Chain A
Amino acid sequence: MRTVDLVVIGGGSAGMAAALQARKEGIHDILILEKEDSLGGILTQCIHNGFGLTEFKEELTGPEYLQRFVDQVITEKIPYECGAQVLDLSKDKVISYSKDGKFETLKAKAVVMATGCYERSAGAIQTPGDRCSGIITAGAAQKYCNIKGYMVGKRVVILGSGDIGLIMARRLNLEGAKVICVSEIMPYSAGLNRNIQQCLKDYDIPLYLSRSVSRTIGKDRLEKVILSAVDEKMNFIPGTEMEIECDTLVLSVGLIPYISLLNNVDCPTSSTKGAVVNNYMETMIDGIFSCGNCLHVHDVVDFVTDEGRTAGHGAALYLQKRIHKENDIKTIAGNGVSYIVPQFINKNADENITLKLRVRKPLKDQWVMIKSGDNLIQKIYKSAVIPSEMLLINLSKDKLAQITDNLTIQLEDK
């Protein structure tokens, strides 16, 4: 059986960044396994701009952003295989993968999982009504439109105001479809404010909040949807039905880390539905690291790249036997915080650590309090926080030194 020092599963933004960082830190024997026909991951179909402001200080489209990393992978001569689907990953890091005409099993000394996320489907949200053609996730619609040049609909309702839903509202509208409205079950949008502005307001596309699809109607192809208002418990309120004639319902109802490969390794997961990790992005399985959208879903690719680097760094330390194995500090999502990544910190890490978190609901004038036991380590003022915008908190080495107990992050009104 072939042995490889580091296998990176997934050649998207996270995976490429992890491989490049590990190479930079002296790891030579690397293999990236990418299931599609080219490196790049989901950015391949994200042709809109807005990527790279942190990473490159300029605004790039998805394909432009990813190409810069593909170029580096090629320059660094990091081996990669495309069309290669990993079918199995075991606890001792034996990996089986399959591609055109080839099936191979190899042993990795370290693994970085960078498998991205998948879209919550109509089945998963149990949309009531007919299961006809014309109900499609935003990412699938995006692929047809941006890669193949086909439109999934002419009269479109979008359910869910996540960023891809908003981006697709603009995209389909620009290509000649009538985007009738975006409907969001929550009382606030799940997307970034700027996308509400440039994707909906620019094109006079209404956004209905606290409203969802209470019925899909259509024999073979979708003919109409019924939108109903929901109460605080998300139950439809009778008498609020709006009937809308449309041929397509595009779903943007959530992205979920795609980690079915971890099913066989008993890897603990967190409320992000990704793996539990420490500050090196190492999961609770020795030598298996995780980063990017398969760890938790990001809103900005630049942060995915950064997290990929952290995982690549961790994998390099692991392979060089320089990693600290004690996960001695636990991070706890306190009042108003829905999750924190990483879930564990090594006190002796001796490097700056970035904590990433999301808030539960939109709030104004908040203190983000970072406490070790009862000790206040740091507090940061935020004029406004929203769930769609991930908060990054940098813990410097000095601050880290002050931590003695589990770390709680919570919101307090100013």
Chain B
Amino acid sequence: MKNLDSKYDVLVVGAGILGAFVSRELSKYDLKVGLIEAHNDVGNGCSGANSAIIHSGYDPAPGTLKAKFNALANPMWDEIADELDIDFTRKGSLTVALYDEQVPLLKELIERSNKNGIPTKLLTPEEVKELEPNISPKVKAALYAPTAGIIDPFNAVVNVIENAVDNGVELLLNNKVLSIKKENDYFIVGTNKNEFKTNIVINCAGVHSDQIAAMIEPIDWKTTPRRGEYFVLDHFLDGFVNHTIFPMPSEKGKGILITPTTSNNYLLGPSSELIDDYDDVSTDKPTLDKVKAQILDMVPSVPLNKVIRVFSGNRPTTTRHDFIIEYAKTDNHFINVAGIESPGFVCAPAIAEYVVKELVNKVCSLIENKNYNPRIRKHIRLNKMGHEEKVEYIKNNPDFGRIICNCERVSLGEIKDALSRNAAPTTVKGIKKRCRAGFGLCQGGFCQSKVVEILADYYNISPLDVLYDDEGSNILLKKIKEGK
């Protein structure tokens, strides 16, 4: 048991994109902040398994928190991406009407975007085909939203938390919160490993946020995980689609989209099914078949033989159907940030600002942290260097010439750099998320054993103890040939 005596000013529960931005926002002030995470890495829930879109914000119903924060947050991302070295491009999005009866709906969406204050434009079929030559020839019209963007969701979470930790936040991994009790004027947060004292709790626990909220009082809302299944296509042709292409939205959400990713792959999905098990991120054939059929309707020539991966993530939908960002009913030192489903990723920095400046501020005095640095150490990007620069850099940093992952061209130098940072990876998946080793065509067939070796060497452990993902996900089960 550690930290029992030292008391936190704020404990943030959940190291997804919300917990990341909230703790970074808190690190701007002289506070003792802890970021508690049940898993052994950050961004392992919904934040790492979504469409990776910085939505423009035209779509949420006007007047909702979703509409408010999306409009506020979208413009923030240029600066964030620059400060935190996150891959981000404003590709723009197209919401396409394929059938005549959808065209009037598109006009309603334009009105909605005007109400939300988001720039959009109605495009003719010819204009759509010009922008997207591979779109279905039956396209009738489209709504163009130029401010929509694509982002690397893995490094977004990692880099925000790296920066928060650089600025003094304590990252408390492998701590699953089991109980929260109020004692005198502070909370005791009990995990599977420790007990932590804190003045303020901020609940950013994603699909588990209702369970955390219910630890201190009865609540009148519930999280109902809504699973989304996706396909990932390998790199095959830059510009096969140039924008994030949505179908017409429905009550189930924004629908099944196709989008380029920041890594020059293409992402197809998500499906939308309510499930019971909060942690069930399996995929199934009938659902994926539906995703396929809908994409083929929009983009008939999509090469499905380029699929390299399927995955799913669970959106934290709540019974309130809007974001929940408020004090607990019985205690204003407990703040719920729940139900942050799509467009939650884009909204995270604006929500974090609101939570800290409007909610935390009222119950705790905020004194500026003079040492706060909004930037992280820049990543080395060999593919952005000129030839001579590259020759010179690799000469001086030999590990950057040693390629570990052939498919995604990831060098030993990049992996060692990730290991040397705050919020460092400890697992094969952790390396994969940060450096892309194993994300490509062979899905780690060639490089996984090398990554296992690098992790074993770095942490000075046996390869048997190297994990793929969570506790219990060991890759190797037995050493053979022990000799005499």
Contact = CB atoms under 8 A, between A and B. Distances in A.
Q: In the complex, are there CB atoms of A and B closer than 8 Å?
A: yes
B476 A151 contact: yes
B168 to A, nearest CB: 32
Interface string B301-323: 00000011111000000000000
Contacts of A145: 480
A318 B310 CA distance: 44
A133 B469 contact: yes
Nearest to A102: B401
Contacts of B406: 35, 85
Interface stretch (A122-130, A191-199, A335-343, A376-384): A122-130
A121 B472 contact: no
Nearest to B390: A103
B125 to A, nearest CB: 30
Interface in A322-352: none
Contacts of A100: 398-399, 401-402
Contact of A126 (B283, B398, B442, B470): B283
B475 interface: yes
A260 B479 contact: no
Contacts of B395: 101-103
Given A105-B387, A258-B441, 8 more contacts: A83-B402, A85-B409, A98-B402, A130-B281, A144-B449, A176-B480, A260-B235, A263-B235
A128 B283 contact: yes
Contacts of B477: 151-154, 247-248
A126 B402 contact: no
Nearest to A151: B478
A81 to B, nearest CB: 12
Contacts of B463: 148, 150
Interface in A167-188: 175-176
Interface in B234-269: 235-236
Contacts of A103: 390-391, 394-395, 401
Most buried by B among A123, A128, A147, A236: A123
Interface in B409-434: 409, 411
B475 A152 contact: yes
A126 B288 contact: yes
A132 B473 contact: yes
Contacts of A258: 441-442
B308 A121 contact: yes
Nearest to A140: B445
B282 A128 contact: yes
A144 B475 CA distance: 10
Contacts of A221: 472-474
18 contacts: A83-B402, A98-B401, A98-B402, A101-B401, A102-B401, A103-B394, A103-B401, A128-B282, A129-B282, A133-B467, A140-B444, A140-B445, A143-B449, A148-B463, A150-B478, A152-B476, A221-B474, A260-B235
A137 B311 CA distance: 18
Given A100-B401, A100-B402, A119-B445, A150 B464 contact: yes
Interface residues of B, number: 55
A87 B407 CA distance: 10
B448 A140 contact: yes
A20 B92 CA distance: 53
Contacts of B401: 98-103
B471 interface: yes
A118 B407 CA distance: 10
Given A103-B391, A123-B309, A133 B445 contact: no
A398 interface: no
B394 A123 contact: no
B48 to A, nearest CB: 12
Interface in B428-470: 441-446, 448-449, 463-464, 467-470
A215 B285 CA distance: 9
A151 B231 CA distance: 31
B232 interface: yes
Contacts of B309: 121, 123-124
A220 B279 CA distance: 11
Contacts of A104: 391
B101 interface: no
A139 interface: yes
B220 interface: no
A219 interface: yes
Contacts of B394: 98, 101-103
A314 B401 CA distance: 32
A239 interface: no
A35 B442 contact: no
Contacts of A248: 477
B480 A151 contact: yes
A101 B479 CA distance: 33
Nearest to B429: A133
B2 interface: no
A361 interface: no
Contacts of B79: none
A131 interface: yes
A157 to B, nearest CB: 15
Contacts of A150: 463-464, 476, 478-480
B472 A98 contact: no
A136 B236 CA distance: 25
A42 to B, nearest CB: 10
Contacts of A102: 394-395, 398, 401
B481 interface: yes
A147 B463 CA distance: 13
Interface in A78-110: 83, 85, 87, 98-105
A130 B282 contact: yes
A156 to B, nearest CB: 10
Contacts of B464: 150
Most buried by A among B387, B409, B464, B476: B476
B443 A123 contact: yes
Contacts of B472: 133, 219-221
Nearest to B482: A149
B284 interface: yes
B390 to A, nearest CB: 5
B281 A131 contact: yes
B474 A87 contact: no
B234 to A, nearest CB: 8
Nearest to A214: B285
Contact of A123 (B310, B467, B479): B310
A62 B10 CA distance: 60
B307 A124 contact: yes
Contacts of B310: 123, 126
A170 to B, nearest CB: 15
Contact of B443 (A124, A151, A216): A124
B445 A121 contact: yes
Interface string A209-224: 0000011100111000
A126 B401 CA distance: 33
B173 interface: no
Contacts of B288: 126, 128
